[in-house]
């Protein structure tokens, strides 16, 4: 699978972002199987008092239409983050999976970033916890996570149990003390513990950490960006995953799949 990760710093103006995304995607070679852009590519979060309903769009709006157009040109699949309009209620933080023929999936972020002094839930609605969201891309199953979801290993494991062949993590990972270390460590941990490739697209610029990454099932970094606008590329070979799982059959060795701890003694 040919993968390209587009790192950028989104503007608060969706029109500006569509122009930027169109230009960046226009440089992607046709035949690239999967292109991943960051969380909040359609519009950045902006100031903490900004009402994100003003920027939100429906899934049949101009941002998704642009992704579909570029997916058709590339003859591949494009994944990017947006704020999804919901009538008069708070929008969803949504990942859209745009295929060459139609929208393949939409994942609405489950774990909102109410941490490190920030409250995403004041501005956005959490997705419903139903089942992990996946999409089939180039014959492989892609599991979807967004940013803060990375800190919840049960979601990644649920995606693996849903037969995901790789995990995709678009993010706007806010910069700060220890944050880049957390980003790299958690991405690597999700790859190693699930013996699966991880493709992570981060926003760059002054506000965010950048450092988009592609990591293989053994935790090796195949490609990593810096902090600025750039694209990174990698090839994901399913045989590498198969060999990694032969070497490290930890998924087969699990003794507590779906484990629910009992409180107060023997059930």
Phi, psi angles (nearest 5°) of residue 56: -65, 150
Q: Are 119 and 81 in contact (CB under 8 A)?
A: no
Q: Is 239 a catalytic residue?
A: no
Token pair listed for 254: 């699990």
Catalytic residue among 4, 57, 84, 109: 109
The 3-state secondary structure of 44-97 reads: CCCCCCCCHHHCCECCCCHHHHHHHHHHHHHCCEEEEEEEEEECCEEEEEEEEE
Q: Are 69 and 25 in contact (CB under 8 A)?
A: no
Q: In whole angstroms, what is the distance from residue 22 CA to residue 214 CA?
A: 23
Sheet of strand 134-137, all strands in order from the earlier edge strand to the far edge: 134-137, 140-144, 166-171, 198-202, 213-215, 221-224
Distance between terminal CA atoms of the chain? 46
Q: Is 154 a catalytic residue?
A: no
**Alpha-carbon dihedral angle through residues 158, 188, 81, 24, given to the nearest 10 degrees:** -140
61-81 exposure pattern, b = at least 16 Cβ within 10 A, e = fewer:
eebbebbbebbeebebbbbbb
Catalytic residue among 39, 57, 84, 120: 39
Q: Is 39 a catalytic residue?
A: yes
Catalytic residue among 57, 84, 147, 227: 147
Q: Could you give the residue numbers annotated as active site?
A: 39, 109, 147
């Amino acid at each position: 699978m040919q993968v390209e990760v587009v790192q950028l710093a989104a503007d608060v103006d969706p029109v500006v972002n569509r122009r930027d995304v169109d230009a960046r995607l226009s440089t992607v070679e046709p035949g690239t199987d999967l292109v991943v852009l960051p969380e909040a590519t359609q519009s950045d979060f902006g100031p903490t008092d900004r009402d994100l309903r003003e920027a939100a769009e429906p899934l049949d709006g101009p941002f998704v239409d642009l992704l579909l157009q570029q997916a058709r040109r590339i003859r591949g699949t494009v994944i990017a983050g947006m704020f999804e309009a919901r009538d008069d209620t708070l929008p969803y933080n949504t990942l859209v999976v745009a295929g060459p023929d139609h929208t393949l999936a939409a994942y609405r972020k489950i774990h909102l970033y109410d941490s490190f002094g920030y409250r995403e839930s004041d501005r956005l609605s959490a997705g419903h916890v139903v089942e992990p969201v996946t999409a089939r891309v180039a014959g492989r199953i892609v599991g979807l996570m967004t940013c803060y979801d990375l800190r919840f290993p049960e979601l990644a494991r649920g995606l693996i149990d849903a037969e995901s062949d790789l995990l995709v993590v678009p993010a706007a990972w806010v910069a700060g003390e220890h944050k880049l270390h957390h980003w790299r460590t958690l991405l690597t941990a999700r790859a190693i513990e699930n013996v699966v490739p991880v493709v992570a697209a981060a926003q760059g610029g002054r506000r965010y950490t950048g450092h988009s990454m592609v990591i293989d099932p053994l935790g090796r970094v195949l490609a990593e960006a810096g902090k600025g606008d750039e694209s990174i590329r990698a090839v994901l070979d399913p045989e590498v995953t198969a060999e990694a799982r032969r070497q490290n059959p930890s998924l087969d060795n699990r003794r507590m799949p779906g484990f629910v701890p009992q409180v107060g003694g023997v059930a």
